[in-house]
Chain A
């Protein structure tokens, strides 16, 4: 009973020989040399130039992206610190006695923190995108 394995074995044993000389390829190269270079092919110089431009564009993009990200992170940290300081200030002022500024802050405490938070978010988003 002949099997798939036998067929594969037979095909391998009777593999069609192809001459190993370079004549075929050298003739092909000779014929290609006679033809005009199609637009799909660029010469080595042009390719290097294109690659260089691509690398430059990626470098510029990455630099901008990282700078924006760094500024956004810094800004968010600064706002966070301000909120913490405000909380500490309020806690201290609670103990020391009333004043008009403190009263205002005390009254609009949540609104001020909310506004600062929204500001930081908006600026971060603007810088990051």
Chain B
């Protein structure tokens, strides 16, 4: 494969990847794009490790997911700390952090989806975004997140229950 073909493949996948990361970063577009850039550069540099067993998009999502956790767990940024809070009770902190994102991101901060998934644990959030937003299969989600299919189903079950409760309250 040539460099140009790689860029072509990436340009077809970048929108979904950035959307997923925006969801994980609770709407912080600039942070999500930074992580997406990092992930795509990592994919470029380690392309020889892509064995072709999984789909290219699944491989990219896995790298992005790992980059997200590397960023989140090491930097401990305010927004991220709130977004990865397992209890999901720290929503106020999130709004106190200055956000450099675009207008679209700011509007997203106030969208119902954000509120619906903000209380989910970090794994549940990832599973929900991949399953409902990106329409990935359970098999693909296990490949991306590294969780077992049982764990993915369990997270999905809990997330569904939460979302149903949230939607009932609307």
By a beta-carbon cutoff of 8 Å, the part of chain A in contact with chain B is 2, 4, 6-8, 10-11, 14-19, 24-25, 27-29, 31-32, 35, 37-44, 47
Contacts and interface: CB of A to CB of B under 8 A. Distances in A.
B81 interface: no
Interface stretch (B33-41, B59-67, B82-90, B91-99): B33-41
Given A2-B167, A7-B167, A11-B133, 11 more contacts: A7-B164, A14-B111, A16-B19, A24-B36, A28-B37, A32-B7, A38-B44, A38-B47, A38-B48, A40-B1, A42-B2
Contacts of A11: 113, 132-133
Interface in B123-157: 132-133
A37 B44 CA distance: 9
B3 interface: yes
Nearest to B33: A24
B44 A35 contact: yes
Contacts of A41: 1-3, 6, 47
B41 A32 contact: yes
A24 B14 contact: yes
10 contacts: A6-B164, A10-B167, A14-B111, A16-B22, A25-B14, A28-B7, A31-B37, A32-B41, A40-B1, A47-B2
